[in-house]
Every structure is written in C-alpha cells, then in structure tokens.
Chain A
Amino acid sequence: MKLWRNPGLWIALAIVLIIAVIPVITGSASTRETLFNVLLSIGLASSLNILLGYTGYVSFGHIVFFGLGGYAGFYLIDEAGWNLLPAALVGGLTSGLLALLLGMAILRLRGAYFALATIGINEAMKALVINLKFLGGPTGMELNFQTYRQYGGAGQMLWIVYAGVAVIALLVVMLSFFVKKSKFGLGLMAIREDEDAAEVMGVTAPRAKTYAYVLSAIFPGILGVLFFFKQGVIEPGSAFRLHMSIELLVMVMLGGAGTVLGPILGAGVYQILRGSLLTSNLHLGGLRIRDVQLAVAGMLLLLIILFIPTGAVGWLRSRSSFLRRVLE
C-alpha cells in the first residue's frame, strides 16, 4: 500500500500523462506525430531499462522484440482480418514467448558475449524474415487501406493508435516502478551488482533473469503492432533496425539507467533534440547541422558516457537527499 504513496511513481506517471494529453488539448496533428514518437520511445526505453538498468544485461538487439511482435500482429490484421486489439496482445505474447525461449539459452552468457548474442539474434531474425514468403520476404507487407475503415477512417485511426501507445507507455512506467520496488526487483539489482554473490544470497539468478527478459520484451511487441499498423507497411529493414536498438540504449543512458524516471526523460529529450536538429537551418563550419545530426548526437552521447555515466536522473539523485526521496 505504501508504494502507491511514493512520489517517484506519481511524478513519472504525471510527466507521461501530461505529454500524452498535449495534442488532445491543442488538437494539432503535427504535435501528435512528434509526441507519438516520444511516447513510443518512452515505452521501449523503459522496457529495455528493466533488463539493462535493473539486471545489468546489455541487450544490443532489443529491437528484435519490437519487430517480431510487429510482424506477428501485422500478419494477423492483414491476412487473418483480426481487430487491432487482439492482434496487439498476440504480438506482445509472441515477443514474450521468444524472450522466454531465448532467455533460457542466452542469459547464461555474460558481459560482451551476451551483447554480441543479442546482435546476432536480431540479424538472424531479420535474415530469416527476408526469406519467409508468407511474411512478404524482403519487401514486407502492406495493409489494405480499406482496413482503416472499421476504425473510422485513417484520421480516426491515428488518434486510436496514439491513445494505445500512451496507455502502453503508462503501463510500462508502472511496471518499471513496481518491479524496482519489489523483492523480485531487488533480486535483479543484486544480479547487476554481483551475480555470483546474488546466487549465494538466495536469488535464483537464471529464473529471475529470464523473467526480467520476458517482461522487457512483451510491451515492445505490443508497441511494434501499434507502430506498424499506423505505418501501414512493414518490412525487415524497418522492423529489425539495429540502429534503433542502440538509440534506445542512448535514451536510457541519457536519462539514467536503473531509474524509473530516467528513460522517460531520456526518450523525451532525445526525440525532441533529434527532431530539432533534423529541422534546424544552423551551420557548423561548412556543414548544415541537419546533415550532420547523427554526428552531433554522437558527440553528445560521448560527452554523457565520459562525464555523467549515471545519466541525468542519477546525477540529480546524487546531488541532494530530497531529490533522492522524490525521484525514482
């Protein structure tokens, strides 16, 4: 019961909620598109944080769950004529199942070996999907435009998907908080600090790690279905984009790994920064900032890694005991 009164939870939820209702109030479609990306990133980054921040396992290919869930849901909607809601749930379950099977195998690997294995799995999945005829092979699948009609047309559909992503983002943040505060979460953090010691203290590490992996995979699967339903097309290159996976790592690090609020701030700041760099007309030397946005983001990331390795929230928490109490 006491957990519900923790200000850290409410601050985090309030921030996500405020972000989510801005376009509802202004009714602006372009704000909605920007904030759609922010909310999507919050959901994905907070999911990744459960594995990366709490458990200390670096998943470089986490986007595989986004892509696989997306493919599963898209197939059901496009080929089997399912409704978005059950398709999204099945997408999430598919990703969770993959994580369960994979987790039992690859979570035995530690450090660099695990990171490499997750990259391999993402690439293997991408290469496999390219070869699967029923999933459209290298060109992927395209949704019949008529499908949107049952959701009140394309305009209405965009709002429905937006609401869906907002709800998932809120759920992930709650999950992230309750995992952190639970005995299970303490076990995960013990694994992060020293896996062998944690086992000696009675944490069943293989089981705890697998659960963390599954939890961090389910919501990306659901978000994948929502995202690709909105796009109307899915193809292997966009579903299993390793680069996006690493962008998620950047968001988590930016905000602070292992904190509830960190991935939210990281996702927001990263997406807004990226958006403004992409549309800016400033010049740096002879080059337009717009053309070198990747390089600017890279420099920023490097500065954070080198000088504030605990991220923004970690840094704030180390500043004062009041902030330590209210920020989770």
Chain B
Amino acid sequence: MIDTLLASLTDGLLIGVVYGIAAMGLTLIFGVMNVINLAHGPIIALGMFGVYLLFTNLGFNPYVALLPVGLFGLLLGVVIYFVAVNRVIDAPHLSSLLATFSVSMIIVGLGTAIFTTTFRNVDYSLGTLSLGSITVPLTRVVSAAVALLVVAALYLFLKHSRLGKYVRAVANNRTSAGLMGIPSTRVLAFSFGLGTALATIAGGLIAISLPFTILSGGVYELKSFVIVVLGGLGNPVGALIGGLILGVIEGVVPVFMKTTWVPVLEYVLFVLILLVRPQGLLGAKK
C-alpha cells in the first residue's frame, strides 16, 4: 500500500511540475494584462507537434528541440498579441476572451486540416530509474528537471534583467510604466510571447511522455485553469505549487477510487476555491 502510494505520489509530482509551467504561462499573461488566453490549449498542442516534427523528421533530440519550439512560441505569442489582443486590451473581458478564443479556433481548424486528429507520440526513451521500490521512466524525471530549470530561468529573468523589470513594472501599473519611458505595448507583446513560450515548452515536455492529438491541448488548458485558480490568478509561484497539488491529486486519488472520479474532484475543488477563496491559496497578484 505504502509502495503504490509512494510510486503514485512521485508520478504525480513529476507530471505536476510540467502542468505547473503550462499554467504559469496562462497566469503570467493574466497577471501582466488581465487577459485570459483561451488559445492556451491549442498553443500547448502546437508545442507538442513542434517537438514531434523536429524529432521524427529532423532527428532532433526532443529535449534539444524544446529550444526552437520555445522560440517559436515566443514569436507566435508576439504575433497573436499584435493581431488579436492589442486592440481589445482595454475593452471589457468578453472581448479579449472571444478574441483569444477566435485565435484558438483558427489554430485548431488549420491544425486539424493539416495534422488530422490521429494520435501521435514521440518514440523516445531513456530507460527507467529505480529508487528502492519506485520505478519511473527516466524521461519523466528529465522532463520535470527541465521544467524546474525553465522556472528558475524565468524567475531570474523577471527578477534581475532589465526587460524582466519592465515586464513587472507594466504588470504593476501600465500607465505609470509608460510615463517612466517603458514602451508598454512592446512589453505587453513580449509578455504575451513569454506566456505562449511557456505553453509550447510545457506541450513539448508532455509530448515526450504521453500520446497526443491537435485537440489534446484543450485538456491541459482546463487543467491550467484549475491550477491557476488554486495558486491565485496572476501568481506564477502559485501556479507551480498549484501544478504540484493537481499532479498529486491525479497521482494519488486513483489509488483510492476510480480514475473517472479524478476530474469530478478537480473541477469541484476548482469551483469551491473560486467561491471560498477567489484569490487562490497563495493570493492573487497585488
């Protein structure tokens, strides 16, 4: 009993970190510009396909492929920002929600036509890692480590680099930031790109260990919502912790009841937290 529990806990924590960076992308965008990016899921799916295509067609190591995929995510985000978000950034919530949703329709529509909806998987293995009674695929461990690395890099970037300080300033008060000479529109576009880059990297990491289709992003988008609300909207550290919580729930709950009850539990928890503590477990931004 303890062994299965420990094994599922490890499994949950490892995948939880990856969920965490997906959610961090969503929460970063919300924190900076108060926009919920409904194209988050399809962008995660594009990250999956990016790693898949680089791996199967060009023979990239999937972890190396994350670099160009992340860069593509950044550029894509900047383009999406200028095309769809910039005009509605100060409009009521519905406008930005629907604008990003239309981007999601465009990506899913084109993606379905090009890639169809058959399942793909990245056929890559590093063997398994055994620690006492626990055995996990090594790719999971490496993926979690890469995710943590990305989090650390993001933290250092936001905390210490000049551009990172710009991002935080614009998140704090866009008007004042503009008055201080910060090019706030460009910083907003960059922040949006940072969020989508995180989404594509998370997608790539998921693709390395799980099969997927162009529609798979939707599942992880919903998970990201749950995580973001758990950790507090707009709070990146909260997203990581929320990711770990969700991972643990997904890992441990199936030991006690049927797997199909996991989403029920997740969404009920999600709605309850919104009602009882809408600022999330760790507090929202500000």
Check if B36 sits within 8 Å of A115, measured CB to CB. yes
B274 contacts A106, C-beta separation under 8 Å = yes
Binding-face segment, A123-131, A141-149, A210-218: A123-131
Q: Is the CB of B106 within 8 A of A302?
A: yes
B223-267 interface bits toward A, Cβ cutoff 8 Å, 1 = contact, 0 = none: 001100100010000000000000000000000001011011011
Of the candidates A105, A120, A299, the one whose C-beta lies within 8 Å of that of B102 is A299
CB interface residues, A 76-131, toward B, < 8 Å: 105-106, 108-109, 111-113, 115-117, 119-121, 123-124, 127-128, 130-131
Give the nearest-CB partner of A119 in chain B.
B225
Give A58-74 as 1s and 0s: 1 = Cβ < 8 Å from B's Cβ atoms: 10100000000000000
CB-CB under 8 A for A109 and B274, given A120-B226, A298-B109: yes
- Counting CB contacts under 8 A, is B101 at the interface? yes
Q: When the two chains form their complex, are residues A295 and B113 in contact, meaning their CB atoms are under 8 A apart?
A: yes
**Residues 21-64 of chain A, each 1 if its beta carbon lies under 8 Å from chain B, else 0:** 00000000000000000000000000000001000101010000
Given A113-B274, A116-B36, A250-B98, are A123 and B263 also a contact pair (CB < 8 Å)?
Answer: yes
Task: State in angstroms the CA–CA spacing of A145 and B147 once bound together.
Answer: 54
Tell me, yes or no, whether A186 is within 8 Å of chain B by CB: no
Residue A249 at the chain B interface, CB threshold 8 Å: yes
A306 touches B84 (CB 8 A): yes
A-chain residues with CB within 8 Å of residue B103 when the two chains form the complex: 298, 302
Q: Measured between alpha carbons, how far is A138 from B30 in the docked complex, in Å?
A: 34
B222 within 8 A of A: yes
A246-266 interface with B by 8 A CB criterion: 246, 249-250, 253, 257
- Assuming A106-B274, A306-B87, is B93 touching A297 (CB within 8 A)? no
Closest A residue to B222 using CB positions: A123
B142: interface (CB < 8 Å): no
A124 and chain B: residue at smallest CB distance: B267
B109 touches A292 (CB 8 A): yes
A138 touches B260 (CB 8 A): yes
**A116 and B260 contacting across the interface, CB-CB below 8 Å:** no
Q: In the bound complex, what is the Cα–Cα distance between A112 and B225 (angstroms)? A: 11
A127–B267 touching, CB < 8 Å: yes
- Bound-state CA distance A212–B146 (Å) is 48
- Pairwise interchain contact B267-A120, C-beta atoms closer than 8 A: yes
86-109 of chain B: CB within 8 A of chain A = 87-88, 91-95, 97-99, 101-109
* Cross-chain contact B275 with A291 (CB below 8 angstroms): no
> Which residues 289-316 of A have a CB within 8 angstroms of B?
291-299, 301-302, 305-306, 309
In the complex, A123→B224 CA distance in Å? 13
A306/B88 in contact, CB under 8 A: yes
The verdict on A117 contacting B271 (CB below 8 Å), with A249-B98, A302-B84, A306-B88 known, is yes
Q: Tell whether B129 is near chain A: CB-to-CB under 8 Å.
A: no
Within 8 A of B (CB), among A182-230: none
Query: Does A287 lie at the interface of the complex (its beta carbon under 8 Å from any beta carbon of B)?
Result: yes
Q: Write the nearest CB–CB distance from B195 to chain A, whole angstroms.
A: 15
**Mask: chain B, 267-278; 1 = CB below 8 Å from A; 0 = not:** 110110011001
Contact partner of B105 among A124, A128, A130, A294, CB < 8 A?
A: A294
Chain B residue numbers with a CB within 8 Å of A130 are 260, 263
B258 in contact with A131 (CB, 8 Å): yes
Most buried by A among B30, B261, B267: B267
Report which of A58, A120, A293 forms a contact with B225, defined as CB distance below 8 A.
Answer: A120
Known contacts A116-B229, A309-B95; decide if A121 and B263 are in contact (CB<8 Å): no
Are B93's CB and A58's CB within 8 A?
Answer: yes
CB distance from A265 to the nearest CB of B (A): 17
Any chain A CB within 8 A of the CB of B61? no
CA gap between A294 and B260 in the complex, in Å? 30
The answer to whether residues A120 and B274 also contact, given A128-B264, A294-B108 and a CB cut-off of 8 A, is yes
- Complex CA gap A31/B25 in Å reads 46
In the complex, residue of chain B having the shortest beta-carbon distance to the beta carbon of A307: B87
Shortest beta-carbon distance from B26 to chain A in Å: 11
Specify the chain B residue showing the minimal Cβ separation from A192: B92
Write out, one digit per residue, whether chain B residues 204-218 have a CB within 8 A of any chain A CB (1) or not (0).
000000000000000
Are B102 and A305 closer than 8 Å at their CB atoms?
A: yes
* Cβ-closest chain B residue relative to A246: B101
B34 on interface, CB distance cutoff 8 Å? yes
21 contacts across the A-B interface (CB closer than 8 A): A56-B92, A112-B34, A113-B278, A115-B93, A116-B274, A120-B225, A120-B267, A123-B263, A123-B267, A124-B263, A127-B264, A253-B98, A294-B112, A295-B105, A297-B105, A297-B109, A302-B84, A305-B98, A305-B99, A306-B87, A306-B88
Closest 3 CB pairs of A and B: A295-B109, A298-B105, A294-B109
Told that A287-B113, A305-B98 touch, could you supply 7 new A-B pairs with CB distance under 8 A?
Answer: A106-B275, A111-B93, A112-B93, A113-B233, A116-B274, A117-B275, A257-B94
Q: Which residues of B line the A interface, CB within 8 A?
A: 30, 34, 36, 83-84, 87-88, 91-95, 97-99, 101-110, 112-114, 222, 225-226, 229, 233, 258, 260-261, 263-264, 266-268, 270-271, 274-275, 278
A residues at B contact (CB < 8 Å): 52, 56, 58, 60, 105-106, 108-109, 111-113, 115-117, 119-121, 123-124, 127-128, 130-131, 138, 246, 249-250, 253, 257, 287-288, 291-299, 301-302, 305-306, 309
